[in-house]
Chains A and B, each alone.
Chain A
Amino acid sequence: MRNILEMARFELAAALRTKRALAIAVVYLVTSLFGMSSAITALGKMEDQLSDILQVERVEGKSGVVSAALWKSKPFQSLARGVVGDSLVYDDIVGKHPAELIYAWIVFMAVPFLSVLVACRRVADDVKSGAAKYALMRVSRLEWSLGKYVGQATLVLAGLLVGAFGAWAVAMFKLAGADVASMLPAMLAWSLKAWFLSLAWLGVALGISHSFSTGTKAQTVSMFALVAFSIAPYVVKLYADTAIGEKLQVLQRLFPSAIEDALWRSSLAPVAAGSVWLALLGLMWLSLGYLTFARRDVR
Chain B
Amino acid sequence: MNEAIVTHALAKRYGHHHALNGFTLAVPRGSITGLVGRNGAGKTTWMMTVAGFVRPDAGEVNILGRGSFDAAVHSGRFTILPQDSDLPNEWRVRPLLIGYGKLQGLSGKMATESADGLIAAFNLSEKANATIRSLSHGMRKRVAVAQAFLGSPEVVLLDEPLSGLDPIEADRLRTFILACRGKTTIVISSHHLDDIERLCTHVAFVVAGKVERMETLRSLTSDTGRISYGLKTLPGDISGLAAACPSVRLSVEGVSLVVAEFDKNLSVEEVNAALLPRLLAFGVCSVTPGRSLADAYIGEVSER
Q: Which residues of A are at the interface with B, using a C-beta cutoff of 8 A?
A: 3, 6-7, 9-10, 13-14, 17-19, 126, 129-131, 133-140, 143, 295-299
Contact = CB atoms under 8 A, between A and B. Distances in A.
8 pairs of A and B residues whose beta carbons are closest in the complex = A130-B85, A138-B104, A140-B71, A138-B103, A18-B90, A129-B86, A298-B53, A297-B54
Contacts of B102: 6, 9-10
A3 B73 CA distance: 13
A139 B92 contact: no
Interface stretch (B27-35, B74-82, B222-230, B234-242): B74-82
A130 to B, nearest CB: 3
B75 A139 contact: yes
Contacts, number: 86
A13 B54 contact: no
A177 B53 CA distance: 62
B140 to A, nearest CB: 12
Given A6-B103, A298-B53, A299-B53, A133 B80 contact: yes
19 contacts: A3-B71, A14-B88, A17-B90, A17-B91, A17-B95, A19-B90, A133-B80, A133-B85, A136-B53, A137-B51, A137-B71, A137-B80, A138-B76, A138-B104, A139-B75, A139-B104, A297-B54, A297-B55, A298-B54
B70 interface: yes
A120 to B, nearest CB: 18
B72 interface: yes
B52 interface: yes
A134 B140 CA distance: 13
B90 A135 contact: no
Given A6-B102, A140-B70, A131 B87 contact: yes
Contacts of A13: 95, 99
Contacts of B78: 137
Given A7-B103, A140-B72, A17 B54 contact: no
A18 to B, nearest CB: 4
Interface in B38-92: 48, 51-55, 69-72, 75-76, 78-80, 82, 84-88, 90-92
B221 interface: no
B147 interface: yes
A134 B143 CA distance: 12
B172 to A, nearest CB: 22
B100 interface: yes
**Number of contact residues on B: which range applies?**
20 to 34
Contacts of A138: 71, 75-76, 100, 103-105
A299 B80 CA distance: 13
Interface of B: 48, 51-55, 69-72, 75-76, 78-80, 82, 84-88, 90-92, 95, 99-100, 102-105, 144, 147
Contacts of A130: 82, 84-86
Nearest to A135: B103
Contacts of A10: 99, 102-103
B86 A131 contact: yes
Contact of A139 (B51, B53, B103): B103
A299 B85 CA distance: 9
A143 B91 contact: no
Given A138-B75, A139-B75, A133 B53 contact: yes
Contacts of B53: 133, 136, 297-299
A136 B79 CA distance: 10
A10 B103 CA distance: 8
Contacts of B55: 295-297
B48 A299 contact: yes
